[in-house]
Structure 1
Amino acid sequence: MSAPAGFDARRFKAQERAGFNRIAARYAEGAHLRADLATALLDAADLAPGQTVLDLASGPGLLARDAAARIAPGGWVLASDIADGMLAEGARRTTAEGKSDALGFAAADAEHLCLPDASFDRVLAGLALFMFPHPQQALAEMRRVLRPGGRIALSVWGPREAVPLIARAQDCIARQLPPPKVARPSVFRFGDAAALTIALTEAGFADVHIAPCPFRCHFADAESYWQAFLDLAGGAAEALSRLPEATQATLRAAVEADLASHRTEDGGFTVEALALVATARS
């Protein structure tokens, strides 16, 4: 899947890095919202003691930390991300919790991994593939660093209509703001299981298996939902943060109106999402 016309991958990555670095601590604190998806991904990875694991786009290492618990004793997990501030937050939390023995952190671009061939038993990528400007290049790198017979396990957002968790906010942004001069790659570009299967197969992976993973997120109020969206939006959130306060207030009001159908008896909102969890062998 090619990038939009006029798209600058280097600029995009710089914006993503800046956006995620800015919200590193808050991102880590919101991980509970996606706990069911993280568990499904780790289960699909078929982790076992003694394995070496690479977690791509790891952020503050939340998935990597849980993976480290599953490959003990004798295993090791490397958490990598282009956002070094996210990794620093993860390292700080891991050290504070006394769980750093089997977990390392290293800044890395998933499309250009400075890692030896055939050096990992497993590669994980949670909600990440759609963020890579050149996903086929990233998949090629994942396969390169996997040992023969190693397994990749990744998650992506499902079809847009099945992910109001993201689509509600996107709809409000599209109504309230002019379209960007250069479109960003869609976070739903692998939402079709067939498209994801083709991408993995063309990258040389075998035994591709894709399973749906529906989950729900509950928010005390509309502001909590909006903040959770921003925490997932990376570079897009960085651009939104520069808008005039009046425009941001208009966006927040529009979001609250659009969430009306998700209101619960306690006055909060429960918003659904569907992810796809894919596994394949090198």
Structure 2
Amino acid sequence: MSALSPRLAAVLEALPLAPGLRVLEIGGAPGPLARAMAARVSPGGFVLVVDRSQRGVAATRTACATEIAAGVLGVRHASAESFRLEPGEDPFDLVVANRVGALDGRHPDLEDATLAALRAATIPGAPLYVDGRLVAP
């Protein structure tokens, strides 16, 4: 695994990760933080990277091929505000977003829809970390 940037390493250290957690990472392409999180939630955990960019999704599939094959990481093409659980998919325990315009103030018109989508995809009270800061318990 390649080393994380100092920014992503700080985010990783701020997260309350533990084995068995299901983590939803919004805008995580090409997957360096997701790979590091997958190592911390194993065994039994899972990280799903959601990205609005097809190119980003493809890059994540390539960069995280080992973790995907092991079943500890997945990737899905969707915007933050349109993300929905698939039928039968378990909700997530924790949400992480870094430099996601719908959550960092760059696109305030998308914030309400994004937060509603994330609440619908997580367990009650799931923490939301935006750029390494806890913004919603």
Unaligned 5+ segments in structure 1 are 1-28, 156-276
Letter in 1 for 2:91: S
Instruction: Say whether the 8 Å CA contact 1:51–1:76 is kept in structure 2.
Output: yes
Distance 2:73 2:96 in 1: 14
Select which of 38, 41, 45 maps to 2:8: 38
| Cα displacement (A) at 1:42 | 2.1
Which one has a bigger Cα radius of gyration?
1
Alpha-carbon shift at residue 136 of structure 1 (Å): 2.5
Letter in 1 for 2:112: Q
CA contact (8 A) 1:45 1:152 kept: no
What is the match of residue 55 of structure 1? 25
**What amino acid is aligned across from residue 40 of structure 2 in structure 1?**
R
Report the TM-score, using the length of structure 1 for normalisation. 0.41
Q: Do 1:49 and 1:73's aligned partners in 2 also have CA atoms closer than 8 Å?
A: yes
Q: For each residue in 1:244-275, what CA deviation from the matched residue of structure 2 results, as whole angstroms up to 9, or x when unmatched?
A: xxxxxxxxxxxxxxxxxxxxxxxxxxxxxxxx
Match of 2:82 in 1: 112
Kindly indicate whether residue 119 of structure 2 is the aligned counterpart of residue 143 of structure 1: yes
Query: What is the root-mean-square deviation in Å for CA atoms of aligned residues?
Result: 2.3
Query: Where does the alignment leave 5 or more consecutive residues of structure 2 unmatched?
Result: none
Query: What's the offset of the Cα at 1:62?
Result: 1.8
Aligned 8 A contact 2:35 2:73 in 1:
yes
- Return the TM-score normalized by structure 2: 0.81
- Give percent identity, aligned residues only: 32
**1:183-233, CA deviations, whole angstroms, 9 ceiling, x for partnerless residues?**
xxxxxxxxxxxxxxxxxxxxxxxxxxxxxxxxxxxxxxxxxxxxxxxxxxx
The answer (yes or no) to whether the contact 2:84–2:120 under 8 Å persists in 1 is no
Aligned to 1:89: 59
Matched residue SS, 1:134? helix
- From 118, 134, 137, the equivalent of 1:279 is 134
Q: Which runs of 4+ in 1 moved over 3 A?
A: 130-133
> How many angstroms apart in 2 are the aligned matches of 1:149 and 1:36?
29
Tell me if structure 2 keeps the 8 A contact 1:118–1:144: no
Q: Equivalents in 1 of 2:67, 2:90: separation in Å?
A: 26
Deviations 1:32-69 (A, max 9, x none): 5xx22212222222011001011001121222111111
- Superimposed CA distance per residue, residues 161-200 of structure 1 (whole angstroms, 9 cap, x where no aligned partner): xxxxxxxxxxxxxxxxxxxxxxxxxxxxxxxxxxxxxxxx
Task: Report the 3-state secondary structure (helix = DSSP H, G, I; strand = E; otherwise coil) of the residue aligned with 1:87.
Answer: helix
Q: Is the 8 A contact 1:45 1:151 kept in 2?
A: no
Equivalent in 21, 32, 36 of residue 66 of structure 1:
36
Alpha carbons 2:31, 2:63 under 8 Å: kept: no
